[in-house]
Copies of this chain bind each other. A is one copy, B any other.
Amino acid sequence: MSIKLAIMGYGNLGKGVEIAANAAKDVDLVAIFTRRDPKTLKVLSENVPVVSVKEMDAWKDKVDVLVICGGSATDLPVITPLYAKSFNVVDSFDTHARIPEHFAAVNKASKEGGKIGVISCGWDPGMFSLARVYANAILPDGKDYTFWGKGVSQGHSDAIRRIKGVKNAKQYTIPVDAALDAVRSGKNPELTTREKHTRECFVVLEEGADAALIEKEIKEMPNYFADYDTTVHFISEEEFNKNHTGMAHGGFVFRTGKTGVDKEHNHVIEYSLKLDSNPEFTASVLVAIARAAYRMNKEGLSGCKTILDIPPSYLSELSGEELRAHLL
């Protein structure tokens, strides 16, 4: 029996979910919902209907899980609770500080509808959260480190683009090798913000813009750049379009901790991701979670969940017997 999955929102993430759903043997993509005029949307899967969000009510009983693809700033806080009452939903809400309130809103709606809503799935929050929780449970006497990159920070790129005279910009967050090595060695270093990551910016200027002034403005921007060693490269639009449109990302989660009668033994747990496509990897997590959401709801569970509440086996298309025989 296949899981009938639908996508809401067809940007980079939605396309990634489409690809991941098609790659999963036990998942059938049954609909793509959009706020745009469905006729204007060209999707990869020719046989899948593209449907206006206005008609979603008619799909309540035809969809097992709805994967909601939208921005965390304004879209998901509204859309996920809205649909959580009628559908099992999965989202990638990633504003860490606002997770508790998003959880509460989705939990209320999901409970009312007898549905499952899984929020904040992807890699951080998501796989990195798992790495942190398992490692903390195992090594209570220890220290956590999370590094991001090398990858594009959308927020920092946007901040540069808002500067007058900037035509386009990409900002890469880069973990500092020396810091990674120090953590990996088990030395439990205290690391400042500056010691953990550097920031590299590629900027296309408007004609006549003052490069020196813009470089200064970037490097001194509070919160975004002032606490980091920042490099600024001014490049042509041609070079920008050729080399800086990729969506690679990744990062590292460490926990280092001690055990022993005299705390004489060090342990280093490291989890890392190196991703050619940030949205496609996030989408692949969402589809695995959609499988789990379907199963939990089949078992009669309802309410809001996160990846921390879900048995790992629920994410896999393999049975318990198969997992024990081959992957345990």
Contact = CB atoms under 8 A, between A and B. Distances in A.
Interface stretch (A135-143, A160-168, A197-205): A135-143
A236 interface: no
Interface in A247-297: 259-261, 264-277, 280-281, 283-285, 288, 291
B306 A277 contact: no
Interface in A114-128: 120, 125, 127
A16 B288 contact: no
B323 A133 contact: yes
A56 interface: no
Interface stretch (A19-27, A71-79, A83-91): A19-27
Given A277-B260, A307-B312, A317 B100 contact: no
A274 B280 contact: no
A130 interface: yes
Contacts of A141: 23
Given A16-B259, A134-B315, A320 B309 contact: yes
A42 to B, nearest CB: 13
Contacts of A308: 311-313, 320, 323-324, 327-328
A127 B131 CA distance: 10
Contacts of A159: none
Nearest to A24: B140
A277 B265 CA distance: 6
A328 B276 contact: no
A127 B133 contact: no
A321 interface: yes
A97 B164 CA distance: 65
A216 interface: no
Interface in A174-216: 184, 186
Interface of A: 16, 19-20, 23-25, 44, 96, 99-100, 103, 120, 125, 127, 129-134, 136-141, 184, 186, 259-261, 264-277, 280-281, 283-285, 288, 291, 306-313, 315-318, 320-321, 323-325, 327-328
12 contacts: A19-B259, A19-B260, A23-B140, A23-B259, A120-B328, A138-B281, A138-B285, A186-B274, A259-B284, A265-B276, A267-B281, A268-B273
